[in-house]
Amino acid sequence: MAKAKSSYVCQECGATHSKWMGRCDACGAWNSLTEEAASESAPKGLGGKRGKKINFVGLEGSEKDPPRRVSGIEEFDRVTGGGLVPGSAVLIGGEPGIGKSTLLMQATAKLAESSKTVYISGEEAIAQLRLRARRLDLDKAPVALATATNVRDIVSTLDTPDHIDVVVIDSIQTMYLDNLESAPGTVSQVRASAQELIRLAKRRGFALLLVGHVTKEGTIAGPRVLEHMVDTVLHFEGERSHQFRILRAVKNRFGPADEIGVFEMSDAGLVEVSNPSELFLADREGDVSGAAVFAGIEGSRPVLVEIQALVAPSALATPRRAVIGWDTNRLAMVMAVLDARADLALGPLDVYLNVAGGLKISEPAADLAVAAALLSSQSGEAIHGATVVFGEIGLSGEIRPVSRIDARLKEAAKLGFTRAIIPRIRTSKSGSKSAVNATGLDIVEIAHIRDLAQAVLPKPRQKQALG
Ligand code: TYD
Ligand code: MG
């Protein structure tokens, strides 16, 4: 027998290398290669054999929308696109301890009321799982519980004509195939285990929920390949020190991506938060400088959050930039534009930016709110408390229009805000102006960043020699 060859597989991106390297040249990750037994010989091409002809069809057909398994936990169902699709695979990623097992236990308990549901854990013992179920007051739910890590056993067990509707695998990193040599959790094991389970899900028509742990960098541990294999990728995020948890769809073949569900971790498990804006604004201090309320859109819903900025003289040669909940590069851009187009030089100052409540914002529409918070902090003057701000900032300082202006304003009006600073509304978009007026808010449209100070601050800003 030929000596088993080993290869070096990057645990970040799954690229295979013939020799060890300190840095993966496919994705640039450092120290991410581990030795794994080569799984199969390299593909040898087609070898001159002819294949069968494939048939082409038209786009139109009579396929119905897939039936869905609805859990009744509205925040969960919305993120999955209206319930779980039979035969589909969903990956739920999140840091250890964030609440994935809790969420899935609550969801399966609900799903079990109307469908046959199986929960397989490779991480916890039955006793532990039962304790959690009792704590969540779910121990009466007809969930079939098991602990297993061998994929061969799992596949043999689930490959039955008895109909199973939903299967949870907690977590995919603990699963292994006994014909592969590498350890559980390595790329080849995770990929091969997931492949087997997904294939079975498609064949038997059950919805498969895979739990995946996430690395420090925020990618689902190791293989990004997993994200391509499944139909839906959900991230469960939040700060462990905060009680808010956000379930975010980052990919969904059966629904909109970017949808979020908001939960609060309590003594009795995860509680749905159907009005997140109220939650995110709950701890707001009155009129303090450096705070601006951003009217954002998360998925299909408007969400209001407070953006807090603090600028302070720096003791360091390279001033500090600390950002929580937003993109550091985007902050650098907004600061550069403020400097170049609005005469607000923050270069020598420390700048801290925080999105209150632990939400992560990726919308460019937050630019204007960030700029407003920076302006307010730098001047020491508070923005009037009942004002919301949104708009994208371009490099020349222009304020660009954003989507769904009326939904944002409606949410602001609902929560008692009276004033909104927004981009100019294009009149060509028929009806939008009247929809905006109908909200009853005092609307301040601005076209350029230089007009922001006047719009947000009570008095025109005086140039200060800070720092
Ligand atoms: P868990 O679901 O085990 O996290 P994961 O599967 O993502 O690793 O939940 C972990 C945390 O949730 C744990 O630190 C305790 C907390 N928790 C509560 O606060 N309330 C509860 O009712 C439960 C079950 C857990
Ligand atoms: Mg867990």
Structure confidence by residue, pLDDT tens digits, 241-269: 778 898 999 899 988 887 889 999 999 89
On average, the pLDDT of the chain sits at 87
**Distance, CA 132 to ligand 2 centroid (Å)?**
11
Whether residue 62 is contained in a domain is answered as: no
User: Ligand 2: distance of its center to the CA of 97 in Å?
Assistant: 7
Task: Determine if ligand 1 sits within 6 Å of the CB of residue 268.
Answer: yes
Q: Residue 174: its pLDDT value, please? A: 93
Q: What is the pLDDT of residue 426?
A: 75
Tell me, yes or no, whether 108 and 249 share the same domain: yes
pLDDT at 67: 83
| Residue at a domain's end among 274, 300, 320 | 274
- Give the C-alpha separation, 343 to 443, whole Å: 25
- Does ligand 1 lie within 6 Å of residue 174's CB atom? no
Ligand 1 center from residue 329 Cα (angstroms): 33
Task: Answer yes or no: pTM beyond 0.85.
Answer: no
Task: Tell whether 255 and 289 lie within a shared domain.
Answer: no
pLDDT at 466: 47
Instruction: Give pLDDT, residue 461.
Output: 45
Q: What residue's CA is closest to ligand 1, atom 23?
A: 269
- Judgement on whether residues 311 and 404 belong to the same structural domain of the protein: yes
Is 153 part of any domain?
A: yes
| Domain stop point among 231, 256, 274 | 274
45-to-41, 48, 49, 115, 151 alpha-carbon distances in Å = 12, 8, 10, 45, 30
Average pLDDT, stretch 185-203? Answer: 91
Indicate whether 221 pLDDT > 70: no
Q: What percent of the chain is modeled with pLDDT above 70?
A: 92
259 and 303: one domain? no
Mean pLDDT of 430-451: 81
Main-chain dihedrals φ then ψ at residue 389, nearest 5 degrees: -135, 140
Shortest-distance Cα residue to atom 1 of ligand 1:
99
User: Among residues 258, 274, 290, which one ends one of the domains?
Assistant: 274
Instruction: Please indicate whether residue 185, judged by its CB atom, sits closer than 6 Å to ligand 1.
Output: no
CATH number at residue 85: 3.40.50.300
Per-residue pLDDT tens over the stretch 17-75: 888 888 888 888 888 888 877 655 555 677 778 889 999 988 888 877 778 999 999 99
Average pLDDT over residues 130-150: 94
Q: What is the mean pLDDT of residues 329-352?
A: 93
Domain that holds residue 209: 74-274
Contact 107/73 with Cβ under 8 angstroms?
yes
Q: Which pair of structure tokens corresponds to residue 37?
A: 């037994």
Ligand nearest to the Cα of 174, by number = 2
Q: Residue 218 pLDDT > 70, yes or no?
A: no
Q: 265 in ligand 1 pocket by Cβ < 6 Å? A: yes
Is residue 55 one of the residues assigned to a domain?
no
Q: What is the pLDDT of residue 223?
A: 52
**Which ligand 1 atom is the nearest neighbour of the CA of 236?**
7
Distance 101 CA to ligand 1 centre (A): 7
User: Is pLDDT above 90 for 353?
Assistant: yes
Domain-embedded: residue 83: yes
**Residue 269 Cβ < 6 Å to ligand 1:** yes
User: Residue 97: nearest ligand to its CA?
Assistant: 1
pLDDT of residue 467: 40
Q: Is 99 in the pocket of ligand 1 (CB under 6 A)?
A: yes
Instruction: List the beta bridge partners of residue 421.
Output: 389, 444
Residue 408 pLDDT > 50? yes
Shared-domain flag, residues 247 and 383: no
* Binding site membership of 135 for ligand 1 (Cβ less than 6 Å): yes
CA-closest residue to ligand 1 atom 14: 97
**98 Cβ inside 6 Å of ligand 1:** yes
Q: Which CATH number do you get for residue 343?
A: 3.30.230.10
Binding site membership of 94 for ligand 1 (Cβ less than 6 Å): yes
Q: Which ligand is nearest to the CA of 100?
A: 1
Question: How many angstroms separate the CA atoms of 8 and 15, rounded?
Answer: 8
Q: Which ligand is the nearest neighbour of the Cα of 94?
A: 1
Residue of 256 and 78 predicted with greater confidence: 78
Q: Are residues 365 and 240 part of one domain?
A: no
312 domain residue, yes or no: yes
Of the bound ligands, which one is closest to the alpha carbon of residue 237? 1
Q: Is residue 461 part of a domain?
A: no
Q: What is the pLDDT of residue 287?
A: 78
Q: Are residues 139 and 92 in the same domain?
A: yes
The reply to whether 61 falls in a domain is no
**What is the token pair recorded at 327?**
């993109």
Q: Please give the distance, rounded to the nearest whole angstrom, from the Cα atom of residue 187 to the centre of ligand 2.
A: 20
Q: Is the CB of 101 under 6 A from ligand 1?
A: yes
Antiparallel, parallel or unpaired: β 117-121 and 144-147: parallel
Q: Is the CB of 277 under 6 A from ligand 1?
A: no
Report the domain count for the chain: 3
One domain, residues 306 and 384: yes
Residues 137 and 235 in one domain: yes
Q: Are residues 85 and 101 in the same domain?
A: yes
Which one, of 399, 449, 441, lies nearest residue 424 by Cα?
399
Distance from the first to the final alpha carbon of the chain? 73
The CA distance from 372 to 352, in Å, is: 14
Residue 418 pLDDT class (50, 70, 90 cuts): very high
Ligand 1 pocket test: which of 102, 131, 263 has the largest number of ligand atoms within 8 Å of its C-beta?
A: 102
Which residues are registered as beta bridge partners of 200? none
| Any domain includes 464 | no
> Which atom belonging to ligand 1 lies closest to the Cα atom of 268?
22
Same domain, 348 and 292: yes
Categorize the per-residue pLDDT at 10 as very low, low, confident or very high, splitting at 50, 70 and 90.
Answer: confident
User: Within this chain, do residues 338 and 442 fall inside the same structural domain, yes or no?
Assistant: yes
